[in-house]
Amino acid sequence: MPEGPATTVKGTVLSARLIRTRRRGFTIFEAILDDGSGPLRLVFFNQPYFQRWLLPKKVFWVYGIATQAARFRRGLVMENPQIEEFLEGGESAGAAGADPLSVGRVVPIYRKLPGLTPRARRTVVFHLLRNFAGHLPERLHDIGEREQKLPFLADSLREAHFPGSAGGPGDAEAWTERKSPYLHRLVYEEFLEFQVGLLRRRAVRDRVPAPVLAADGAIRVRLKEALPFTLTAAQKRVIREIGRDFRAGRPMRRLLQGDVGSGKTIVAVLSAILAAECGFQTALMAPTEILAEQHFSSIFRIFGKTRFRADLLTGRVKGKARAQVLDALAGGRVDMLVGTHALLEAPVEFRRLGLIVIDEQHRFGVAQRTTFAAKADPAGARPHLLVMSATPIPRSLALTLYGDLDVSTLDEKPPGRTAIATRVLPETERAPAFREIEAEIRAGGQAYVVVPLIEESDKIEARAVEKHVDLIRKALPGRRVGVVHGRIPPEERERTMGEFAAGRLDVLAATTVIEVGVDVPNASYMLVENAERFGLAQLHQLRGRVGRGRRASRCVMLFGPKVSPESRERLSVLEKTDDGFVVAEEDLKRRGPGDALGTRQSGVPLFRVGDLVRDVKWMREARDEAGKMIADGRDAAFREPLFLRAAGLPAAD
């Protein structure tokens, strides 16, 4: 054989010997292999066990790089090659007894298991697939013509582990590009089982009664009179969707998503007024006290036009005032209660809770949401649930993370919202940015300065708020500068935010604690330091802290000197669009669901073969088919746990 790159050869062992060296414990095992073109010397360092296996007259597949090595005399040498014995009659690891299992082909890379080498695991998996894969249940090929065009499960598993063994192309390209029909079969089945599970859980939930909240002509007139402004077409559409849920007599579970400023709160308030008209109470839970207070301020103004009462309950409401709120709530005299997680704590008792609204729902744990939603009125009816999110969620992720919820989207902003002029600049432009902030303050505005770190780090090159605030004060002498970050006690942090909202501070220097829950219409300028360290969706959320009033607003994002071309190109997305859904889709494509939306620890399913970004078409098809299967009673085969997780598929990478 010629000298050159790594290659696979098949040959017969002519001789083998174990060479002991002068170095204690160091051995060399040497075998001479004849592949028909001449001898090839195989050398294995510190692997004496090969003397029990590499025996003369045996035939082996060998994979490695053949070189001319002077230290082993003349001829070609392979050092520590991969080897696999060739056995006649179909008894080798190869599918037909002629092809190698571990050399000269695309091989599966498995996660490490103690006591089991990769070669041994490949051998075990091969024999399992050869002997038992054909007995796995075919769950797709009886459910429709579309699915009958996909390969069988046994063939798909064989191709997943050993490309080419079931008639596929035998290379990894179709798999890495996610074009293989065998991969599509596995993805579709995994997604289908997931969607069947979601919809079955939903079917069980739908058997529980819920208050029927229906509006007659008189109620509609009163709802219209309570409106402080004309609704957008998107708001009207969403209200109709919620109205259909309210009339169905089963618990609504709906996600209301909309970009910053799209008008989600008014939809929730109108829903609460309708519930009150029907004799039921509403609870609105926000993640922070300041956000709860801001919600209550706007809700109180709207409720003031009705005959109903809204009240506020947070940790700051204490003593006699708290006792009065709790007494009125239990007596049914409070129609809408706004608060934080304090609403979950005893002795908070509703008389007839009909609607729960959770704002920025991703800030709450699953257990908290479940505890709240499990509350029932004395008749045993479960309340309706409306969860709101200002983080636009791409369709592909909404199908999974919120797969058991109906999704309503506010995709237009109310009139009067100002556009936010966004620029992405190098940090050498910081001085001009501070001059713009000074001019904005003189004109009556306020500004945010956002930095990624609380304090300086030796490992991360990025601005830290505790040191950066000194620079801000030097650049803006005489201006009132406040600081908020995650290590400041909540009471102090909320107080500083409140002072900024009241206009007693000109600049708020902060970390991402201001990402949600701060509504300051007078704030019109945002400066983000080290923007390359934030995700696109997070930057869009931060940008949404300005442009909330009638002042023309600007957002300047500075990047550091070591920013990569990819990061610079990524940031340019924010200069091109202020559509949060476009931004979220781009973030999802670039970073994946967990990192993009910060949901890695809060419920994103970690599929074994499916990719939420690249396989969204299959998720949609699985969702549609799951609904048909449950409606027709054909879902029995999908009630078992997902067996693909236990099938030991190779790692995606």
The pLDDT score that the predictor gives to residue 426 is 95
- Which of 64, 79, 105 is the endpoint of a domain? 105
Whether 450 and 560 map to the same domain: the answer is yes
* The pairing of beta strand 82-85 with beta strand 59-64: antiparallel
DSSP3 helix / strand / coil % (the chain, rounded to 5): 40, 20, 40
User: Is it true that the peptide bond before 561 is cis, omega within 30 degrees of 0?
Assistant: no
| Contacts for 161 with CB less than 8 Å, ≥ 6 apart | 108, 122, 125, 126, 129, 649, 650
**What does the pLDDT average to over 553-558?**
95
In a domain, 622, yes or no: yes
Whether 267 and 401 map to the same domain: the answer is yes
Whether 367 and 265 map to the same domain: the answer is yes
Whether 273 and 166 map to the same domain: the answer is no
517 confidence band (pLDDT: 50, 70, 90): low
In a domain, 251, yes or no: yes
In a domain, 2, yes or no: no
* The pairing of beta strand 353-359 with beta strand 336-339: unpaired
In a domain, 600, yes or no: no
CATH code (residue 390): 3.40.50.300
The pLDDT score that the predictor gives to residue 69 is 63
- Token digits for 262? 């799209």
Whether 365 and 466 map to the same domain: the answer is no
Domain that holds residue 205: 112-209+617-633+641-653
Of residues 600 and 556, which shows the higher confidence score? 556
Whether 371 and 432 map to the same domain: the answer is no
Whether 367 and 270 map to the same domain: the answer is yes
Whether 123 and 243 map to the same domain: the answer is no
Per the prediction, the chain carries an average pLDDT of: 81
Whether 295 and 432 map to the same domain: the answer is no
The pLDDT score that the predictor gives to residue 604 is 56
- Which of 340, 403, 404, 405 is CA-nearest to residue 368? 340
378 confidence band (pLDDT: 50, 70, 90): low
In a domain, 218, yes or no: no
Of residues 413 and 368, which shows the higher confidence score? 413
Instruction: Of 141-150, 178-187, 402-411, 517-526, give the lowest mean pLDDT range.
Output: 141-150
- Which of 580, 590, 593, 536 is CA-nearest to residue 391? 580
Whether 379 and 512 map to the same domain: the answer is no
- Give me the DSSP letters along 430-498: HHHHHHHHHHHHHTT-EEEEE-SBSS--SS--S-BHHHHHHHHHHHSTT--EEEE-TTS-HHHHHHHHH
Half-sphere exposure of 220 (CA within 13 A, CB side): 8
In a domain, 424, yes or no: yes
> How confident is the model over 324-336, as pLDDT tens digits?
999 999 999 999 9
Is residue 628 over pLDDT 80?
A: yes
Whether 14 and 83 map to the same domain: the answer is yes
**What does the pLDDT average to over 289-304?**
85
Domain count for the chain, please give it: 4
- Which of 78, 105, 132 is the endpoint of a domain? 105
The pLDDT score that the predictor gives to residue 93 is 44
Q: 86 and 61 in contact (C-beta within 8 Å)?
A: yes
Q: What's the predicted TM-score (pTM) here?
A: 0.70
HEC string for 383-414: CEEEEEECCCCCHHHHHHHCCCCEEEEECCCC
* C-alpha Rg value of the chain to the nearest Å: 32
In a domain, 1, yes or no: no
Is residue 175 over pLDDT 60?
A: yes
- Which of 422, 431, 450, 449 is CA-nearest to residue 554? 422
Whether 147 and 128 map to the same domain: the answer is yes
The pLDDT score that the predictor gives to residue 101 is 65
| Residues listed for the chain | 653
In a domain, 587, yes or no: no
* The pairing of beta strand 336-339 with beta strand 446-450: unpaired
